[in-house]
Amino acid sequence: MTDASARLDPHAVVADIDRRIFGGFVEHLGRHIYDGIFEPGHPSADADGFRTDVVALVQELGVSTIRYPGGNFVSGYRWEDGIGPVDQRPRRLDLAWHSTETNEVGLHEFQQWLDLVGSDLMLAVNLGTRGTQEALDVLEYANSDATTAWTDRRAANGHPEPFAVKMWCLGNEMDGPWQIGHKNADDYGKLASQTAKAMRMLDPGVELVVCGSSGRSMPTFGSWERTVLEHSFDDVDFISCHSYYQELGGDAQEFLASGVDMAKFIESVVAIADSVAASRKSDKRIMISFDEWNVWYLHREDGGQNNAPEEEGWPVAPRLLEDQYHALDAVVFGDLLITLLQHADRVRSASLAQLVNVIAPIMTEPGGPAWRQTTFFPFSITSRLAGDRAVRVPVDAGTFTSEKLGEVATVNAVATLDDEGASLFVVNRSTTDATELRVDLAPLTAGLGRDLALVESHLLHEDDWYAANTLEEPERVGVRALEGAVVDGSTLVLPLPAVSWAAVRLA
């Protein structure tokens, strides 16, 4: 066992935490909506066809704001298809995922589901095949309290009061050649600026997210952000980041460095945004909406991609992107959450992509059960235990060498504070060594004027890193109390096995 040390100083505050950092993402993709959240005839379905077993799991997950309806899907979506009598809605071909969209679930139904799970709506508009006018139409339909043709239709469709959607995404991944209506940075920046200005004329209170790069490895990364913000800086509040991670070539140690890559991505985008601000002599700070992040086994070992349905033709709700997550994935996932909290001063919104069946923490079987994947646990525990303020917790620990990222600390941690105490989230990235982490609590107890006790602890670790929860064994992997965790005087002692994620609450 190796040794590591840290200090929990209440003055090392990063920022107050915006709860939207614990957001999610629901896209019309695969079995996410149909057979996922919506399955009329399922034993648990309510009168509107929503699976109540899934509702309960999403509530447990603790998701704040949910981005909808895409994703790649939105760049070909006609939002009007999803309103009005369900039996009169058109079936459409979805080019993004080579599927047929029935439009049984649209804006009204999705808001009903959000009301059940207790989450807020974050809407994306189509700037791929559509433009400013269509964005204005859906904004007027959703948010206006005036009497107009669109609001009359909203009332006739059962929602006389505005939906009052606060956050809006100006398209999706417009830097990606795979995107329907893909644009270069100059053209997209002009369209985003024009659309944002018009939307603010209709509803000055909206918060707008402009598309950043769909990955740090994109060839246009950096130049895309700069060009887009030079056009839209005055018009938007957020720029998006998207990033997915997977183990490649059986290199678990390299995979465990994923949080460092995410941190570099965030810090690079912040630097570019602040550079644009400086060139304009502006005190405005563009925030980051990290509105797609997860572990995703997109790239197969043979070089192919897992992003097309197996069925021929244009299937409805095919099994697509249904990754099975193991314990190693969950440890990396927990580290990504730590990284987001470490950057809470600029990451003010984030969306786990996605929630049900599609690269998801929750899985379902048609007519059968719903269960938690391994990645469910770090998210549900972090969203529940995280307090009001994020606090830096520098760790003095050993390192390993990443081929892509250089020297990487074996232990990573962040804390949150509130009036009742503190929560600490920590990961041991080493594939070989257990570590005893000793955290000096003296600055914290002095600041609070009272001692703290360890009231709960959680460990996610499996000797078999590739253990997973499945339909046959839905509870194979879980969390348990962190054995040996103790407060010894003013020191918190945490014994961390290799490849593990842990959380503790001090109160």
**Widest distance between CA atoms in the chain:** 69
- The rounded radius of gyration (Å) of the Cα atoms in the chain is 23
Q: Based on the number of CB atoms within 10 Å of its own CB, is 479 exposed (0-12), middle (13-18) or buried (19 or more)? A: buried
Alpha carbons 71 and 77: distance in angstroms, whole number: 10
Structure-token pair, residue 11: 């003055």
β partners of residue 240: 289
Q: Which helix (H) or strand (E) holds 58?
A: helix 52-61
Alpha carbons 378 and 338: distance in angstroms, whole number: 10
CA of residue 386 relative to chain centroid, distance: 16
Instruction: Give buried/exposed letters for 240-275 (b at 16+ CB in 10 A, else e).
Output: bbbbbbebeeeebbbbbbbbbbbbebbebbbebbee
- For the chain, the distance separating the N- and C-terminal CA atoms, rounded to the nearest angstrom, is 28
**Peptide bond preceding 69: is omega within 30 degrees of 0, i.e. cis?**
yes
CA of residue 266 relative to chain centroid, distance: 14
Structure-token pair, residue 74: 């939105």
CA of residue 473 relative to chain centroid, distance: 26
* Phi and psi at residue 439, to the nearest 5°: -110, 120
**Peptide bond preceding 342: is omega within 30 degrees of 0, i.e. cis?**
no
Catalytic residue IDs = 173, 292
Q: Residue 352: which of 471, 233, 207, 244 has the closest Cα?
A: 244
Alpha carbons 15 and 7: distance in angstroms, whole number: 18
Alpha carbons 185 and 176: distance in angstroms, whole number: 11
Q: Kindly list the distances between the CA atom of residue 296 and the CA atoms of 62, 227, 319, 332, in Å, as whole numbers in the listed order.
A: 21, 29, 15, 11
Alpha carbons 469 and 491: distance in angstroms, whole number: 35
Nearest 5°: the CA angle 165, 168, 172 is 145
Q: Kindly list the distances between the CA atom of residue 235 and the CA atoms of 18, 74, 139, 468, in Å, as whole numbers in the listed order.
A: 21, 22, 16, 45
CB atoms within 10 A of CB 145: 10
Q: Kindly list the distances between the CA atom of residue 254 and the CA atoms of 365, 403, 404, in Å, as whole numbers in the listed order.
A: 33, 7, 8
Q: Kindly list the distances between the CA atom of residue 312 and the CA atoms of 100, 298, 315, 323, 486, in Å, as whole numbers in the listed order.
A: 12, 20, 7, 21, 57
Alpha carbons 141 and 150: distance in angstroms, whole number: 5
